[in-house]
Amino acid sequence: MSTGEGVRETWSTRIGFILAAVGSAVGLGNIWRFPFQVGQEGGAAFMVMYLAFVVLIGFPAMMVEFVVGRKTGLNTVGAIREFAGGAWKYLGGLFVFIGFVILSYYSVVGGWVLRYIGGSVTGGYTGTAAEGAPPVAAQYFGTISSGLDTLLFHGLFMVIVIAIVAMGVQRGIELGVKVMVPAIIAIFAALAVYAFTLGGATEAYSYYLSPDLGYLLDNWQSIVPAAAGQGFFTLSLGMGVMITYASYLSEDENLGVDGATIVGFNTGISILTGLIVFPILFTAGVDPETSGAGAIFISVAQALGSIPFGEIVGVLFFATVAIAALSSAISLIEVVVSYVIDEFGLDRVPATAGIGTLIFLLGAPVTYDTVMVDLYDIFAAQVLLVLGGILLVILVAWLHADEAIDELKKGVGNLAWIGDLWLWMVRVPVLVVLLVSLYLGVDGFVEFLQGDFAEFLSSL
Ligand code: TRP
């Protein structure tokens, strides 16, 4: 092979990797989950904690997964098995389980997005509400977010995911991501500019961007696990997705630079989403705290109803979100599919169809009531992902530190000292913060079970 070809091959792998990882990271976590977490946790106080988490915990934790992936060159379950023996092989099983749970409700929300593409065409969410009634967009969200139709759209989303993964056309998705990232930035920037012109913008910016440290100190027990859950969810960490993606990387690749690129894009898109959502909510007089899982759907729908060419922008907006959601969903199901193919020797098509069906069934109860979204979501993000992250940190940074650090130092040139800094960051501060987050996350989950969820059960 000539040098020229060698260079080109590495380069195209790198771009493919970054695209796939950005495609996995950027999704409903940025566009749907992020604004409603900010709303529930008091605005800018959450932002401070969230940004600190992404940079100081999420980024090093991403390196943990990259190291395992590149070192072993295997899919998640195989990588764990090769990296560590004994009982650690069950960690792969935990990751598969987490993938199941997350995709099952992710797909329900993905179904809402598909529904909104239709709603944009028919004008379902625009119009003027009767005196005293909630905004039309809020009513629309109320009707589409649960019920039999919701189940059908959840099924439709899963069928699309299954079709893409079964046909093995991930390359097509790579192409989609190439279009999607610029499209998201362009459409979202335009909507953020529109939002800036609204009457509620000033109030919204101060809510979103100017932190009240007193609030943070008073509420850290709920803000910390929320920031940890969101940090892991949005970066696709805690269940080994990034292990698989890094397995395609070559040794002269600087893992730190790639990780920083992915984290940077992902965080930028979340921040931009907030610049759209909050001005619109404040202008409409909708409280971000109570709008919950509907925040993005209600606010954007409302905005689209009042701008020129709103229907077209709406179709573009929700179609872009759907692509973002699909590229993330693929990364989730791929962990499970590759495990079943390896372990049970199934072919790709039946494996994908079977798993997709099981995930659909697991998600079906979520379409009954939006409180079920919270049930799955809090459990997955604040408990399971953080637990997965903790176990990986122990495995990599404590039990296999030498291999990990050698791997990380490859391709970083004379910045290799950063590897030692990383190791000690991960070993102590990152691990301690994650343990505290898990403790608080479990506590928050129990509180949810005894509060909102118990109330829902007793109303049945
Ligand atoms: N990060 C994606 C999003 O923000 C969701 C996602 C994909 C994910 N793969 C994951 C979350 C793995 C946790 C773990 O939409």
Residue with the two structure tokens 């202008």: 283
pLDDT in tens, 257-291: 999 999 999 999 999 999 999 998 898 888 888 87
Ligand 1 atom closest to the CA of 328, numbered from 1: 7
CB of 27 shorter than 6 A to ligand 1: yes
Q: For ligand 1, say whether the CB of 76 is within 6 Å of any of its atoms.
A: no
Residue spans per domain, the chain: 20-458
H/E segment holding residue 420: helix 417-425
**195 contacts: CB under 8 Å, gap ≥ 6:** 201, 204, 275, 276, 277, 278, 279, 280, 303
Q: In the structure, what pLDDT confidence band is assigned to residue 6 with cuts at 50, 70 and 90? A: very low
- What pLDDT, on a 0 to 100 scale, did the predictor assign at position 10? 39
Outline where DSSP puts E strands in 272-425: none
Q: Which residue's alpha carbon is at the smallest distance from atom 4 of ligand 1?
A: 29
| Atom from ligand 1 closest to the CA of residue 380 | 13
236 lines ligand 1 (CB under 6 A): yes
Mean pLDDT of 216-231: 97
Reply yes or no on whether the pLDDT at 89 is more than 90.
no
Q: What is the pLDDT of residue 114?
A: 97
Fold of 20-458: Hydantoin permease (1.10.4160)
Q: Is 62 in the pocket of ligand 1 (CB under 6 A)?
A: no
Rounded to the nearest whole angstrom, what is the distance from the C-alpha of residue 232 to the centroid of ligand 1? 8
What is the predicted pLDDT for the residue at 290? 82
Q: How many CB atoms lie within 10 A of CB 8?
A: 11
CB distance 32 to ligand 1 below 6 Å? no
- Cβ of 29 less than 6 Å from ligand 1: yes
Written as one string, the DSSP assignment of 11-40 is HHHHHHHHHHHHHHHSSHIIIIIHHHHHHH
Nearest residue to 329 (alpha-carbon basis) of 106, 31, 109, 171: 106
Pocket test for ligand 1, best of 54, 98, 332, 385 (most atoms within 8 A of CB): 332
Question: Residue 388: is it exposed, middle or buried by C-beta count within 10 angstroms (0-12/13-18/19+)?
Answer: buried
H runs (alpha helix) in 84-166: 89-122, 136-144, 148-166
10 CB-contact burial (10 Å; exposed 0-12 / middle 13-18 / buried 19+): middle
Residue with tokens 């009954």: 368
Has residue 174 got a pLDDT over 80? no
Angle between helices 295-304 and 255-284 (to 10 degrees): 60
Distance 404 CA to ligand 1 centre (A): 24
pLDDT tens column, 156-173: 999 999 998 887 755 655
Distance 177 CA to ligand 1 centre (A): 15
Query: For residues 21 and 14, what is the distance between their CA atoms, to the nearest angstrom?
Result: 10
Mind listing the pLDDT tens digit for each residue in 392-437?
999 999 999 999 998 888 877 767 788 889 999 999 999 999 999 9
Residue-wise pLDDT tens digits, 53-69: 999 999 999 999 999 99
Residue with CA closest to ligand 1 atom 9:
236
Whole-angstrom Cα distance, residue 407 to residue 414? 14
Question: What is the identity of the amino acid at 60?
Answer: P
Residue 234, ligand 1, Cβ within 6 A: yes
Confidence of residue 8 (pLDDT cuts 50, 70, 90): very low
